[in-house]
């Protein structure tokens, strides 16, 4: 059985691919920003809060981490209107991605906070640091630096998971691919192209995150992040 690839049939739909790619990038960047901030806040609250706060944060983390992302999207997109809160598909996708990423970020950052040795806190107290200065310079910044490579991996996974948002009519890259496939019936060609786009996007995101890590935490963290890249990318 033979098959003739015809990638030329996709040329007229490059605008469709670019539109989907741009929405994927927007959703990914915004969810990474919001999810990271929420993760830091929740991990901090869990660290310094009382038993009730820790229980609430742990419950949120466990519920999100142990339920499908698709179900979470459906609750946001189809469930919120029942409460009188109607949001568009793109907004629902962003909310769902942020909620999901925040839970994973919280758990990752929590591990980083617990890895900070008590002697470092005692040293900060001996130097006359205020509680806020100790938490900022001795606990949270070193904690995030320790787990930054793990956070980067989670960010990339979230970007790839954005393809699920096509299930709620978000016209991102996966939805654009489905549309082009329905118009051309060239399934192999469409999804080969989309696979390469996602691969390039993931590698580009890792490289950008490595540069951000170098800027925020120094070369040591950036080297650990770059080490996760394929050899040809590192070159």
Report yes or no: 124 and 133 within 8 Å, Cβ to Cβ: yes
Tens digit of each residue's pLDDT (9 = 90 or more) over 112-156: 888 887 777 777 777 777 777 777 777 888 888 889 999 999 999
pLDDT at position 123, please? 78
pLDDT at position 219, please? 57
Report yes or no: 28 and 157 within 8 Å, Cβ to Cβ: no
Token output for 36: 């990271």
114 sits in which H/E element = helix 89-114
Report yes or no: 28 and 159 within 8 Å, Cβ to Cβ: yes
Determine if residue 218 is left, alpha or beta; phi over 0 gives left, psi from -120 to 50 gives alpha, anything else beta: left
Q: What percent of the chain has pLDDT over 70?
A: 92
CA–CA separation, 58 and 88 (whole Å): 29
C-alpha distances out from residue 4 to 1, 9, 10, 187, Å = 10, 12, 14, 12
The pLDDT mean for the chain works out to 87
CA–CA separation, 193 and 177 (whole Å): 9
Look at residue 1 and give its three-state secondary structure: coil
Question: Could you tell me which residue, 85 or 103, shows the higher pLDDT?
Answer: 103
Tens digit of each residue's pLDDT (9 = 90 or more) over 180-234: 999 988 889 999 999 999 999 999 999 999 999 888 877 544 454 444 444 443 4
Q: Which fold has domain 11-172?
A: MetI-like fold (1.10.3720)
Classify the C-alpha dihedral 97-98-103-104 as positive or negative: positive
* Sequence spans of domains, the chain: 11-172
Tens digit of each residue's pLDDT (9 = 90 or more) over 42-59: 999 988 888 899 999 999
Predicted model pTM: 0.86
């Amino acid at each position: 059985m033979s098959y003739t690839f015809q990638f030329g049939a996709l040329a007229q739909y490059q605008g469709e691919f670019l539109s989907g790619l741009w929405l994927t990038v927007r959703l990914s960047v915004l969810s990474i920003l919001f999810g990271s901030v929420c993760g830091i806040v929740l991990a901090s609250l869990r660290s310094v809060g009382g038993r009730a706060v820790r229980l609430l944060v742990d419950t949120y983390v466990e519920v999100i981490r142990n339920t499908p992302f698709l179900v979470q999207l459906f609750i946001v997109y189809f469930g919120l209107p029942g409460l009188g809160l109607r949001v568009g598909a793109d907004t629902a996708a962003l909310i769902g991605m942020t909620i999901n990423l925040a839970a994973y970020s919280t758990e990752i950052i929590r591990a980083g906070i617990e890895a900070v040795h008590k002697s470092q806190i005692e040293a900060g107290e001996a130097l006359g640091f205020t509680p806020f200065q100790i938490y900022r310079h001795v606990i949270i910044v070193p904690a995030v630096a320790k787990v930054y490579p793990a956070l980067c991996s989670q960010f990339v996974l979230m970007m790839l998971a954005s393809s699920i948002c096509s299930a709620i009519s978000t016209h991102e890259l996966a939805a654009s691919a489905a549309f082009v496939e329905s118009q051309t019936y060239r399934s192999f060609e469409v999804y080969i192209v989309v696979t390469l786009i996602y691969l390039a996007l993931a590698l580009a995101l890792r490289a950008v995150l490595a540069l951000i890590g170098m800027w925020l935490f120094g070369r040591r963290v950036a080297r650990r992040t770059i080490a996760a890249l394929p050899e040809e990318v590192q070159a």
